[in-house]
Amino acid sequence: MDETMTLPFEVKLAAGADMVEGELRRLLDTRPLEGELYRPDRLLKAMRHGVLNGGKRLRPFLVLETAALFEATDDTAALRVAAALECIHCYSLVHDDLPAMDDDDLRRGKPTVHRAFDEAAAILAGDSLLTYAFDIVSAPETALPAEAKITLVNRLARASGMGGMAGGQALDLAAEGSSLSEDEILRLQAMKTGALIRFACEAGAVVGSAQDADIERLGEFGAAIGLAFQLADDLLDLTASSEAMGKATGKDAAAGKATLASLHGIDWTRQQLRGLVAQAEDILEPFGERADTLKQAARFVAERQS
Ligand code: GRG
Residue of higher predicted confidence among 19 and 6: 19
Report the predicted TM-score, pTM, of the whole model to 2 decimal places: 0.94
Q: Which residues contact 140 (CB under 8 A, 6 or more apart)?
A: none
Ligand 1 site-directed mutation target among 57, 96, 230, 245, most atoms within 8 Å of CB: 96
For ligand 1, what atom is nearest to the CA of residue 102?
Answer: 11
CA of 65 to the centre of ligand 1 (A): 21
**DSSP code of residue 111:** E
Angle at 68 between CA 64 and CA 69, to 5 degrees: 120
Res 138 pLDDT > 80: yes
What confidence tens digit (pLDDT) does each residue in 229-282 have?
999 999 998 886 666 656 666 666 666 677 899 889 999 999 999 999 999 999
pLDDT number for residue 62: 98
Question: Please, where are the H alpha helices in 53-194?
Answer: 58-69, 75-96, 113-116, 119-138, 146-160, 165-175, 182-189
Average pLDDT of the segment spanning 30-34: 96
For ligand 1, what atom is nearest to the CA of residue 166?
Answer: 2
What is each CA distance from 184 to 93, 177, 263, 282, in whole angstroms? Answer: 23, 14, 13, 26
**DSSP code of residue 144:** S
pLDDT number for residue 6: 74
pLDDT number for residue 241: 61
Q: Which residues line ligand 1 (CB under 6 A)?
A: 55-56, 58, 89, 92-93, 95-96, 101, 108, 165-166, 169, 192-193, 233
pLDDT number for residue 244: 61
CA–CA separation, 253 and 235 (whole Å) = 12
User: For residue 111, what are the β-bridge partners?
Assistant: 106
CA–CA separation, 204 and 215 (whole Å) = 9
Nearest CA to ligand 1 atom 2: 166
SS3 call for 110: strand
Q: What's the whole-number average pLDDT of the chain? A: 93
Average pLDDT of the segment spanning 202-229: 97
